[in-house]
Structure 1
Amino acid sequence: MRRNPLALGVFIAIAVVVGQALLIPLFAAPAANLAPRDLPIAVAGPPQVVAQLEKEHPGAFEVTTVADAAAADSKIKDRDVYGAILVTATGAEVHVASAASPTVAQLLTQSAAALGSDVAIRDVVPVDPDDPRGAGFVAGFLPLAITSLLAGVLVYFFVPRRSARLIALTTFAALAGVAGAAVQIGWLGILPGDYWAVAGTLALFTLAISAAMTGIAALVGREGLGLGAVVMFLVGNAISGIAAAPELLPQPWGEVGQWLPIGAGGTLLRSVAYFGGSGGGFAATVLSAYAIGGLLLVLIGRRGLAKKTAAAATEAEPELVGAH
């Protein structure tokens, strides 16, 4: 049955517009509704400080009471909290960690105005001086995610054997980690931290996405590539919280984003590059699950397209000979 070109064209137009209508709020709504939601902070001072925060910002902060500035800074460096408000007899201080989130650091700095005009601001863990607003850190994730998706797709279509797919995916991840760390640390200088630790983090991140893409497609067919791209890239990027913080996004999306590779990758890279790995355990577990799960799906999934095509050609050859 021949398809009506006009009807097909109208259907495509409607489908694209519907997709567009869904994508706009997916990306715009989280960005337009950034606000602290149970944001972990530390407070050292009289009980009235905590009471005032809860009264003026209900539900905004998850407060941990600490004894002094040293205890507050320890929690910041361990990534237990994003910052601290300290009120002592000598005055008030606000400690932030712009490396954890420049947006949160700015928010806490602005909130310090309520404590008085002479509040001291201290950045306990600052961003790299070559990336003062943290924009390079955020922008660096998009090409890594795109190329990892592309690698997963190409391996599925052009590498038929399961063992060869495993080798291709792990080789890609290793090279992507080494090259990515070289660019961001050595060339652009936008990341501090140990080179090999950063390279390992980027390798795990790229393997999580590429292996998951190939593995899903190997299990359910090429339709799995579209599903993987939508969930891991489009949705995952929108709710990753990389540009702000998961606790600033509407919930439960901020938390859900940490279960997807881009959100987990951003958290782990911040932890490794700036905090010596502190606070990155859950993110590392999530990425490892995607990477290992994807490789297992490659092993148990169907054989590659190229192998199928070759097999089909072999079966068809006797018929062609007979026809001649």
Structure 2
Amino acid sequence: MSSPRASGAEAATAPGGTARKLIVVILGLAALVTLMLCAFALPSVNGGPHQDPVGVSGPAQTTAAAEKKLDGDAWTVTVYDSPGALEKAIHDRDIMGGIALGAEGVDVYTATAAGPSTAGALTALGNTLAEQQQAQATVHDVVPFPEDDPRGAGFTSAALPMIFGGMIPAIALTRLFPGHSGLRTRLVGVLAFSLVAGAAVATFLQFGTGSLDGNYWLTSLGLSLGMAALSTTFIGLEALLGFGGLGAGSAVMMLLGNPLSGLATGPHWLPAGWAALGQILPPGASGSLLRANAFFEGTGALVPALTLTAWVALGLALALIADRRGRSRSPRPAAAQPEMSAA
């Protein structure tokens, strides 16, 4: 008579069971590839200005015409009294750029470091307005990328290293210090790694490739906070749900956080709902914090810093829940039995 375990194994290795397992695996992998394609392709296909904040200045008649031309879902227009006020609004992160209309021509004010796509679209629009007035358009890049990296290639390539900087230490420390007994060691390890890795990435991008500007220590701490937000969340998910939780968290950050971060284009180049989701996730918040610290002297850093701090708190909370659950499940030492003396 065969045991239930043996019969279960025979059913799993039967031709019908093998075929069903193969079908499930193939369908699951196909769904994963399709999800990856949607996550990376849809933001690019639907990319464009979505309520992108810009400014205009000049005579009332010409600014009214420009405001009417820019009216729609693509741009959010604010009228300023002078080109100086418009330029100040760019530095204050109130707008992404603007156009100053005057009798002598058209001045286009851009901030390539805030969003290269918006800067290119405003430049093209300024040239069109200048041709209509038979004038010349002059472009002023108010906040450009550094001279050593004028296209911002180093900055835009920082998304994946930040994600892997949170994922790899979580996986490695989970392997080295597994179980409930190693949970606190894993948390201390990922926090220490985040500080070291943030300083290393900032050093490479600022002094190695010249891709970043601004205060080095502020940029370094911002990068460390972004990596800590990812790594503590991964540690908490793994401690509470096992490697399935770690895998699910990694998939979300890779498939949604990376393409929706807006690091290459700026968040206003994504549809409103996608942009909001991207800025809530750690990769998008890390990119916005890096942009604010590296190019705008910390202006606009508060919201992404608070977002990343909330993710760190979430990861620590998950780890605390897992720690308490592990303590409640750990076996307690048996009470010492009094020795019985012989009669």
1:82 matched to 2:96? The reply is yes
Alignment partners' CA distance in 2, 1:29 and 1:57 = 25
TM-score (norm 1): 0.89
Alignment partners' CA distance in 1, 2:312 and 2:105 = 50
Q: List 4+ stretches of structure 1 deviating above 3 A.
A: 50-57, 302-305
**What CA deviation, in whole Å up to 9, does each residue of 1:248-273 have, x standing for no partner?**
11231011110001111111101100
In the alignment, structure 1 segments of 5+ residues that lack a partner are 313-324
Counterpart position of 2:234: 213
Pairing of 1:92-103 with structure 2 (within 5 A): 92-103=106-117
Alignment match of 2:105 (pick from 81, 91, 101): 91
Give, as a single letter, the amino acid of the residue that structure 2 aligns with 1:73.
E
RMSD: 2.3
Counterpart position of 1:292: 313
Counterpart position of 1:104: 118
Counterpart position of 1:257: 278
**What CA deviation, in whole Å up to 9, does each residue of 1:223-253 have, x standing for no partner?**
2112211222211112111111211112310
Closer, same or farther: CA 188–56 of 1 in aligned 2, 3 Å: closer
Q: Count residues in correspondence.
A: 310
Alignment partners' CA distance in 1, 2:47 and 2:139 = 23
Alignment partners' CA distance in 2, 1:229 and 1:54 = 45
Counterpart position of 2:338: none
Query: Is the Cα contact below 8 Å between 1:241 and 1:249 reproduced in 2?
Result: yes
Counterpart position of 2:150: 132
Closer, same or farther: CA 304–107 of 1 in aligned 2, 3 Å: farther
Alignment partners' CA distance in 2, 1:256 and 1:200 = 24
**What CA deviation, in whole Å up to 9, does each residue of 1:161-202 have, x standing for no partner?**
333222112111111111111111121221111111111011
Alignment match of 1:146 (pick from 155, 159, 164): 164
Deviation at 1:51, TM superposition (A): 4.3
Counterpart position of 2:33: 20
Give, as a single letter, the amino acid of the residue that structure 2 aligns with 1:183.
F
Query: Is the Cα contact below 8 Å between 1:161 and 1:304 reproduced in 2?
Result: no
Matched residue SS, 2:53 = strand
Counterpart position of 2:63: 49
Matched residue SS, 1:291 = helix
Counterpart position of 2:87: 73
Deviation at 1:304, TM superposition (A): 11
Alignment match of 2:249 (pick from 228, 231, 238): 228
* Between 263-272 and 53-62, the greater mean CA deviation after superposition: 53-62
Query: Is the Cα contact below 8 Å between 2:108 and 2:137 reproduced in 1?
Result: yes
Alignment partners' CA distance in 1, 2:197 and 2:64 = 46
Alignment partners' CA distance in 2, 1:125 and 1:114 = 23
Alignment partners' CA distance in 2, 1:172 and 1:34 = 35
**What CA deviation, in whole Å up to 9, does each residue of 1:6-43 have, x standing for no partner?**
33223211111111122212210111121111101111
Give, as a single letter, the amino acid of the residue that structure 2 aligns with 1:94.
V
Alignment partners' CA distance in 2, 1:169 and 1:50 = 54
In the alignment, structure 2 segments of 5+ residues that lack a partner are 1-7, 332-343
Percent same amino acid among aligned pairs?
Answer: 34
TM-score (norm 2): 0.84
Query: Is the Cα contact below 8 Å between 2:70 and 2:77 reproduced in 1?
Result: no
Give, as a single letter, the amino acid of the residue that structure 2 aligns with 1:192.
D
Closer, same or farther: CA 50–271 of 1 in aligned 2, 3 Å: farther
Alignment match of 1:266 (pick from 287, 301, 309): 287
Query: Is the Cα contact below 8 Å between 1:43 and 1:65 reproduced in 2?
Result: yes
Counterpart position of 2:204: 183
Deviation at 1:55, TM superposition (A): 3.8
Matched residue SS, 1:90 = coil
